[in-house]
Amino acid sequence: MKFVVVTGISSGIGLYLSKFLINQGFQVIGTHRDRDVPNGLPNTVNGLIQLYMDLANEHSIELAAIQIQKIVGYKGLYALINNAGQAIPGPLTEVPMEKIKYQFQVNVFGNLLLIQKLMPLLQKNGPGSRIINMSSVSGLFASPFLGSYAASKFALEGLSDSLRRELNLLGIAVVVIEPGPIRTAIWSKHLGVSEDYKGGLFDQYLLKATDIIQQMEENAMPLEVLNQPILDALLSTKPKTRYLIHKNKFLFLLLAKILPDKWADYLVNRNLKSNNNKLRPV
């Protein structure tokens, strides 16, 4: 049985992947930061080994790595899925720096420290081990009012590229998953952003952005769209370096990669200024 660590299992993608991978025959070690839950998560999953870990706390990461080492023993660790993350919305000129630093600590620095601490276990498993970093379409296209989140995901993308080229030399694969909007509670957490920055420079546009977030939540993809990319990333002898998961890959890539920056800026800004509530990329 192969050991897989999945971070951020308390809800959403992490909880779903834990259940899915257990059903696929993996032994899943899941981490969460719900210290106040005395007997494990409310959504306890049979066969899931749960550990407390806070990516914002280096000591917590070190302790979790020690526990993981004791669990996997001589077998080593087959895969690490860095899923845990935070999305802090708001205008970059107004979001407090402490929140932006926290965003990077959780989405970038904490992930890298965990990779460093678990590298001996990945090496012990031997060639074929892999690291899967959960990025986002925000790591390819930076939307207004999601700047700190996008910046952290762009950083994770660059980190993953360098790490992949290094670990290729050791036979360890590094893969990035780039999902678009997926049906989880993360969207509803953002709906109060216009109130958080009320009276600032962007009042009317934040209200429009909130409307768009509501539409994105309604049109989000089901969690099941992760199944095949995750399985391929875990089991393929030659996994892709990136798996983009989006309802309309062509239109998204047109906006993110092909159109000149100023054209994309125009489309995004027109969307925010429009009274039309039709869903468009932001």
Considering 78, 149, 197, 243, which one is annotated as catalytic? Answer: 149
Residue 96 has pLDDT above 70, yes or no: yes
Band (278; pLDDT cuts 50, 70, 90): low
Check residues 276 and 252 and name the one with the higher pLDDT: 252
What is the token pair recorded at 256?
């993110």
Hey, which residues does 182 pair with through a beta bridge? 221
242-245 sheet: strands from edge to edge: 49-52, 27-32, 3-7, 79-82, 130-134, 173-179, 242-245
Task: Respond yes or no: is residue 149 known to be catalytic.
Answer: yes
pLDDT tens, residue by residue, 217-239: 778 899 999 999 999 999 999 99
- Name residue 95's amino acid: V
Q: What angle, 0 to 180 degrees and rounded to 10, lies between the N-to-C axes of helices 110-125 and 58-72? A: 20
Q: Which helix (H) or strand (E) holds 152?
A: helix 147-167
Q: How far is CA 45 from the centre of its chain?
A: 21
Tell me what the mean pLDDT of segment 270-274 comes to: 86
In the chain, the domains with their CATH numbers are 3-188+222-249 (3.40.50.720)
In this structure, what are the phi and psi dihedrals at residue 183, rounded to the nearest 5 degrees? Answer: -70, 85
Residue 279 has pLDDT above 50, yes or no: no
Work out the mean pLDDT of the chain and round it to a whole number: 90
Residue 280 has pLDDT above 90, yes or no: no
Q: Which of 134, 191, 161, 4 is nearest to 80 (CA)?
A: 4
